[in-house]
Structure 1
Amino acid sequence: MGMVAAEMSEEASDDYEEITEPQKSSEDGKNRSKTWKRSNKIVNTATLFVGDNEQLALKGSQIAIKVDGIRARVLIDCFFYNDNDQQLEGTFKMRLPQGASPYYFAFGESILLDGDKRKDSIPFIDQEALVFSEEKIREMRSNSWSVPKVARVVEKEKAAFAYGQTVRRRVDPALAEWAGADVYNCKVYPLMPNKLHRIVIGYDVNLTAIDDDWVYNFSIPKVDCPLVLDVEVAKIKEVSFKITPDIKMQSEKSTETFRMVNPKEEEIEIRYQDSKNIALQSPKIEGQPSYFASSITPVLPPSSKVEISDNAIIALDVSLSSNPDKFNVWLQLTEAILVNNPNTIKKFTVMLFNIETFWWKKELVENTPENVKAFLEYAHQIALEGASDINFALSTISNAEWTKNTSNTIFLMSDGADTWGESDAYKMAGHLTNNERVFAYNTGMSGTSLSTLNHLTRSSGGALFSVTGEDEIQKVSTAFATVPWRIDQISIPDTQDILIAGRPDYIYEGQRLLITGRGTISKGTKVHLEVSQNNSMKEIEMEINTSIDSELTSRVYGQIATGILEEFDYVTEKKSIAYAKHFKIPGKTCSLLMLDTEEDYNAYNIRATEDAYVVASTTVQETLLVVLKDIKELLGSSKNTFKQWIEHLANTDGMDFTIPASLEILVDKTPEANFSIIQKELECASIYKKEIPTQFSDSLLQPKLNYDVVSEEANRRLEKYGASDALKVISSLVEKNPGNTVLARDVGFTALDWGLNEQAYYLFKRVLTTRPYEPQTYQAIAKSLANIENYELSLLYYEIAITAKWDPRFGEFRRIVALEYLNLLGQIKDRANFALATYATSRYKTLRSEFKEEYADLMLVISWNTDNTDIDLHVVEPTGEECYYQNNTTKIGGYMTADVTQGYGPEMYILQDAKKGEYEVKVKYFASNRNRTSTRTKVYATIYKNWGKKNESARTKVITLEDNKEMHNILTVVID
């Protein structure tokens, strides 16, 4: 694997499986590059979890692939058998290839084929009957699929709310949510006992450009069940294609097809050879708009060497997602960049990051072979674990003493998947204040967030380079050192709304552009590109070599258009949603949701809208002309973002919220700085592989992390090193399961308990983004902010929590959170440096009048992290009397709030005048989620002594409930 592999120590090669060096094929007399060979093939592998570790058995799978030029469509049928005697809810998980866009999701019970007596027989479809259009998929399965339900694209918050409410009624919804780069979490319900269930998911994905070829690699999942794979490849005039492995094809008029039954191969490759400038054109249908898509490689005039800083900072991602494949690529790139540019890069240093940041050298060192070798030896000793906090990494670079007074070139060696901390790309780019240019690299591997990488490189005047195989490393390692050409205009006759994927401002030699738009193009169509460099302007003309009609074309446009609109968050949200729904693009703004009946959709105000009209009446280019003028002021301001967010809450399902005039004034009076939470630097002692148990290191390489193994290692490091090290360990769960709100709450509670409040804040904020109708999250955020003394922002979250009207299932939430808020107001209203002191004083008086409790010798509050779960708070008083929901008022004055039976809490026990003695605090695991065989429930308890008094004290306790244990002791409080 090049020089990096040769210099790896024996210890390092034992710990990490390497990416196999790409081989060359020369059957046609040409050497043809290949993409990276991944060591851990989890792409396209389907699992259906019905608990933390319990899965339903996959009984069979049928995969159909359609390849049209530069685009492929994949349709996967998965058959799971529920051999439990209970009805269950399942979480269907699949890691998709990079950039894949799901277009179809359906779920239903499978039925027996005629004459088949086996209860779990697999109804595979004949190869001749395979279809890929949404209209035909269900029809072709009608004889073996009992009343299947097909998902619709719905606004993300509305979809999550409708799903949760429907599950509580124990009827039939399913939900597929975007959970980060190329990760979809799909919830399905109900999985009927002793029945075979069919889940069908379809997605589109671009082929990979390798030299002059277009290549599609499909990783064949390793399964212990029957597997049928069908492939259809479009014939393209004047372009040949090759299938690896060599398979006999059945030739049709416009396609070639083949079938593989229980293939032993790990991968198939379809390669269109010498296929420059292929274009896709949507089929001509009367009354329907036309779309096109193509990839072009402009031939640019020669460029001179660029004048950039001769100081390089390598920002190296050492999170779990880099382990091991991407990390080896990052090291090869780093070595090539330093070795191949000695006259451009005079000095360098390396900052490594996951949820923490640490430097190889806290100085810039000379770019010499000795220093490069020393860094590589150091890098191979680093343990790859934890989540990725790109925002904090960039902040660390901008604030380092040895970088402040220098201009630096930043090489971001990361997949851009920001699973931790601040996720706003505009805020990330805001750290680039010293004229830093950011260069990043797209490996083509799953889990890459191109939107983040594109934004950071574009906004800094850098570039995102493609490096999909080892052969490209040497070429791209020097590309940054030439002057790029600015893209001024692109035009094509008889077309409009021409869009370039990633919206690049600059182009480098050899860089491909994926373009799409409205209109018609064909073989011979000329693409005109105007570029400029310094004061020189050039016109470049490219010709479309060949064009094919493809039903996949419109979603190429839809995916790129929706992605561009989603970049601008709330500014273009309405249009983003309209485009996403029209082109069926689930992602940042929309999810796939299926409900039981049309009446169910209507109940949640999910109705047909005029999305087609919105798309037809507007173009993305027209929208960009308007929003780009003021975008930095709008999205660059955390305060403006907060304002728009609370306005959005007024129209959110599941909560009744009207913004009071007082809250609007409070937001205006709150300083801008309070809306940006600056994280404290975590100082972890354990960063080397030799410090980590082998069993745990091995577990990190598994497709699914074991919660118990991770928790055990976190507890070990907590005891040995402290909270920062322990949090890094459990953040691996978040990295592996982005978008999982149960885990985010779980880890957030733990971070709060360990005093890492800034980390907790960002975890809860991610939950709030998709679940704004759950009031406990506002309380948790307000508490974490109060703990770091950001009282202004804490006050705003408390105000939302007590102003909104919540679902009755949340019990006496307002009373509990108001008492907590009242206590905070009493502590801060007289602080001279508190910007909102006048309001706090007034609010304290009005809120104080609502409650008789002015103090309490003992107050206990619990919340938990799982929905549809009944946790009961029990307090055994010194008299022996037990206070709980069936005995909520005791003889000595103890009071228990209403029982919350459907999840999250909170529940509170309060005793104003406590009798001396011991109070045993317990929680009863009354009922877990009945639709899961098991699930982790973590309880967060706050215990106040002398609440409301000058000598008030508080402590927190977090416990994980065991499924087989009904009553759990939290602690004993002594009142003396």
Structure 2
Amino acid sequence: MHARVRDQVARVQVEQIFRNTDHRVVEAQFLFPLPPGAAITGLTLMVDGKEIPGKLLKKDEARRIYEQIVRKHRDPALLEYVGRDLYQTSVFPVPPGKQRRVELRYTHLLSAQDGLIDFVLPVGTAKHTGRPIKRLTLELAIETTQPLKTVYSPSHDVSVKRPDEHRALVTLTLHDVAAPDDVRVLFGVKEGLLGAHLLSYRPQRDADGYFLLLVAPDIHQADRTPTAKTIVFVIDRSGSMSGTKIQQAREALKFVLQRLNRRSEKHPGDLFNIVAYDAQVESFRPELQRADDKTIAQALAFVDGIHAGGSTNIDGALKTAFGMLHDTGRPSYVVFLTDGLPTVGEQNEMRITENSRQANRVKARLFAFGVGFDVNSRLLDRLARAHGGVSLYVRPNENIEEHVARLYNRIAAPVMTDVALRFEFDGQKDTEPPPVYRVYPKPVPDLFRGEQLVVVGRYRRPGAARVVMTGRIAGEEQRFAFPVRFEDLSRDDSHSFVETLWAVRRIGEIIDELDLHGHNQELVDELVRLALKHGIVTPYTSFLAN
């Protein structure tokens, strides 16, 4: 596996070598994940030194052609999306004693927090394959605009070489691994890395362009009194949470409870409550409680009494939690600890998401904390996205304190809430269509200390403009303006990945609409058109090399 990262943009090449040690011809299949939001850009099948490039077709057509070639005993390779960011490579035939190599390429916009950029190579699905991986290698080249501060892998003992202050080479080699963990590398840059930076891409003057906006305003609040906030904790106590999962959820909840801002002369105290659910939904108290020594001690005792058993009513629990929130004057958060597997009540993921959206009348942010190997990440990511929050995950064999601390740091330090973005162009008339459109994410999430805002969208009008960001800091309205420029015509394809990043977000929105409202041929046609143009594997498209 070879990866090259420039600031936050990763370009990854994965080589899968299938070697047949049997005495008969076999078909090789390998199931593997990609990071959420990654866009596959190419597939190549290598047969006896000959390259066979892949092309993107409609899914049914790709499968039909693959099966036709298999019957002729020629050499095709098929890459298919199988759901939940999982992909499957199929190669046939692999003759006895021979090997076939498949090269997969994708791009991915990495996440950043507290000055750390997070690169994850998800190989953990390989622990479910029948045989160990003979050899797994990674070569990761990092290059940053600002000087690198740290390079660290919490998952593996990697080798790091630093030729200069802007570059690093990370290497890893594993042999005969039956249950590999995902490879994760964190690299840090100095404060104020990005500020506000806009990348635009417009390959044709007669077509609208694409932009990527990264915003990390330099807002210092070290001397400020912590913002008073409201948090409702929702903990899953159903049977699927038994064992290590419920223990981790309890410890995570207790960790955050003990760090709530208590009432004092200088602070009014955070408000909180706890919702525990299986088939039934139970609250710690009928109403929100103000954090002080007494209420927190009682809450900790309530958490100790939570045990796993029964079915899973996620829909009812979330509606109960959001129904407790009424004050729009302070930041409100729902912390959802679960494996995300609904079994009673409403079980459709899109309807659960829509019901929670309707119950959320105060623009509360939802933070999903997934536990276990079998967590329903699709539902948790969808809920977090719908409520302007984020989702975090912890496996049973991982140290929970690191993950909970990261979650708490987000909740404890909201730098700017009720964030809104506006794009101002000189000479823009009210009668003209908006100069930017199809902007994601929606809604714009809160900004937390050390984090940044990542926005993609389309633009109609090139030239100089201003990005105006407004929000509340410590309860006061604030405004920041950043000068930017939208390209009239891109000179090369160096920023072409911006178009693909936007297409991934748009396709995700279309899939959500289809899940919620049912089949719509116009939306399906748009999805397939975007996927084929940008090389994105979806439930409706697959790569084929023949």
Q: Do they fold alike, i.e. is TM over 0.5?
A: yes
Distance in 1 separating the partners of 2:76 and 2:52: 11
Q: Which residue of 1 aligns with 2:102?
A: 199
- Mapping of 1:761-910 within 5 angstroms? none
CA distance in 2, matches of 1:209, 1:322: 33
Counterpart Cα distance in 1 of 2:190 and 2:174: 25
Which residue of structure 2 lines up, in the alignment, with residue 373 of structure 1?
Answer: 300
Q: Is 1:281–1:553's contact at 8 Å kept on the other side of the alignment?
A: yes
Q: Distance in 2 between matches of 1:326 and 1:106?
A: 44
3-state DSSP of counterpart to 1:477: helix
Q: Equivalents in 1 of 2:10, 2:32: separation in Å?
A: 18
The AA in structure 2 aligned to 1:277 is G
Q: CA deviation at 1:91?
A: 2.6
Report if the CA contact (8 A) 2:214-2:452 is conserved: yes
Q: Is 1:93–2:31 an aligned residue pair?
A: yes
Taking structure 1 as reference, are residues 160 and 250 closer, same or farther at Cα in structure 2, changes over 3 Å only? Answer: same
Once residues 477 and 91 of structure 1 are traced to their aligned partners in structure 2, the CA distance between those partners, rounded to angstroms, is 42
2:368 paired with 1:430: no
Aligned to 1:810: none
In structure 1, what is the equivalent of residue 111 of structure 2? 208
Provide the rounded CA distance (Å) in 1 between the counterparts of 2:66 and 2:242.
Answer: 33
Aligned counterpart, 1:507: 446
Residue of 276, 297, 312 corresponding to 2:194: 276
- C-alpha spacing 1:276/1:74, structure 2 compared with 1 (3 Å): same
Residue among 271, 276, 280 paired with 1:350: 276
Q: Does residue 106 of structure 1 match 2:44?
A: yes
Q: Identify which of 397, 413, 418 aligns with 2:337.
A: 413
- TM-score normalised over the length of structure 1: 0.40
What is the alpha-carbon distance in structure 1 between the residues aligned to residue 148 and residue 301 of structure 2?
47
Report the CA distance between 1:581 and its aligned residue: 1.8
**Residue among 145, 148, 152 paired with 2:52:** 148
Residue 160 of structure 2 aligns to a residue whose secondary structure is coil
Which one has the bigger helix percentage?
Answer: 1
1:629-677: per-residue Cα shift (whole Å, max 9, x none)?
Answer: xxxxxxxxxxxxxxxxxxxxxxxxxxxxxxxxxxxxxxxxxxxxxxxxx
Equivalent residues of 1:181, 1:448 under 8 A apart: no
Q: What is the one-letter code of the residue matched to 1:154?
A: L
- Structure 2: runs of 5 or more not aligned: 127-131, 153-157, 176-180, 263-268, 290-294, 327-332, 393-401, 429-433, 488-492, 515-519
Tell me how far apart the structure 2 counterparts of residues 280 and 564 of structure 1 sit (CA, whole Å): 23
Task: Specify the alignment match of 1:590 in structure 2.
Answer: 540
* Structure 2 residue 186 is the aligned partner of structure 1 residue 248: no
Tell me, which stretches of 5 or more residues in structure 1 are unaligned?
Answer: 1-62, 112-143, 597-976
Tell me how far apart the structure 2 counterparts of residues 553 and 181 of structure 1 sit (CA, whole Å).
23
CA offsets, 1:235-291, max 9 Å, x none?
42x44354345633457xx98464747369975443333323374747887889864
Alignment partner of 1:558 is 2:503 = yes
- 1:230 paired with 2:139, answer yes
> What SS is found at the alignment partner of 1:567?
helix
Residue from 249, 262, 266 that aligns with 2:173 = 262
Aligned pairs for 1:430-449 within 5 A: 430=355, 439-441=365-367
Q: CA 1:319 to 1:595, structure 2 compared with 1: closer, same or farther past 3 Å?
A: farther
Deviation at 1:365, TM superposition (A): 8.8
Matched residue SS, 2:252: helix
Contact 1:318 / 1:327 at 8 angstroms: preserved in 2? no
Q: Larger % of strand: which?
A: 2
SS in 2 for 1:577: helix
SS at match of 1:440: strand
Separation in structure 2 between the aligned mates of residue 558 and residue 323 of structure 1, nearest angstrom: 41
Number of paired residues? 474
Deviation at 1:332, TM superposition (A): 1.8
AA in 2 matched with 1:232: A
- Is 1:528 the counterpart of 2:468? The answer is yes
Q: Cα RMSD between the aligned structures?
A: 5.3
Q: 1:585 to 1:273 in 2, by over 3 A?
A: farther
Counterparts of 2:142 and 2:416, CA distance in 1: 40
User: Alpha-carbon deviation of 1:196?
Assistant: 0.7
- Residue deviations 1:78-109, cap 9 Å, x none? 21211223333333111333443333333343
The whole-number CA distance in structure 1 between the counterparts of 2:87 and 2:241 is 16
- Structure 1 position 209, deviation (Å): 1.3
Contact 2:52 2:545 (8 Å CA) reproduced: no
1:321, 1:208 → 2: CA distance?
A: 28
CA contact 1:337–1:478 (8 Å) conserved in 2: no
Kept after mapping to 1: 8 A contact 2:141/2:168: yes
**Residues 331 and 558 (structure 1 numbering): CA distance in 2 closer, same or farther, change over 3 Å?**
farther
SS of 2:531's partner is helix
1:67, distance to aligned residue in structure 2 (A): 0.2
Which digits, 9 at most, give the CA deviation of each residue in 1:80-139, with x for residues without a partner? Answer: 211223333333111333443333333343x3xxxxxxxxxxxxxxxxxxxxxxxxxxxx
Tell me the distance in 2 between the aligned counterparts of 1:229 and 1:518: 35
Please report how far the alpha carbon of residue 172 of structure 1 lies from its aligned counterpart in structure 2 after TM superposition: 4.9
> What do the CA deviations read for 1:430-458 (whole angstroms, capped 9, x no partner)?
36665566643266999988875565457
After superposition, the Cα gap between the structure-2 partners of 1:498 and 1:416, relative to the gap in structure 1 and judged at 3 Å, is farther
Q: Which has the higher contact order (CA 8 A, sep 6+)?
A: 2
Q: Decide whether the 8 Å contact of 1:315 with 1:410 is kept in 2.
A: no
Indicate the SS of the match to 2:389: strand
Identify if the C-alpha distance between structure 1 residues 497 and 192 changes in structure 2 by more than 3 Å, giving closer, same or farther: farther
